[in-house]
Amino acid sequence: MRAIIQRVKRAKVTVDSVISGEIGKGLMVLLGITHGDTLEQVEWIAHKIANLRIFSDNEGKMNLSIKDIGGEVLVVSNFTLYGDAKKGFRPSYIDAARPEIAEPLYNAVCEELRSKHAITVSTGVFGAMMDVELVNDGPVTISIEK
């Protein structure tokens, strides 16, 4: 499981001109699922997202988590995180899990953030063509993988 996490001032996802998810200050998470991912990876990545200290404290140090600031998280499924462009110019997505495997795990990450970590979570639409807009704060972008 792979996530690109961006600290944002605001972010939203639109599908067919309809907003499917929108947040204020918080984290924009692009989430990719690969073969062999299980609930172990779901729990680990949700815990990491919830506790990653990338927000500034009163002294300007990145010392606070999304939970500490009461922020929100927007999670967008993104199979292209497992694109491999080592050979040629057209990436291979063979390492991305099939939708029937990836979608339940994507939903489980969102639910884990909501239920176990008490974070407000918005989402894109799994498998849809989405327009993603965000105002990056910093910019601060972190990549994590389990």
**How many Å apart are CA 146 and CA 141, to the nearest integer?**
17
3-state secondary structure of 30: strand
Contact 3, 37 (CB under 8 A): no
DSSP 104-138: HHHHHHHHHHHHTT--EEEE--TTS--EEEEEEEE
Q: Which amino acid is at 135?
A: V
Catalytic residue IDs: 80
Say if CB 7 and CB 25 are below 8 A apart.
no
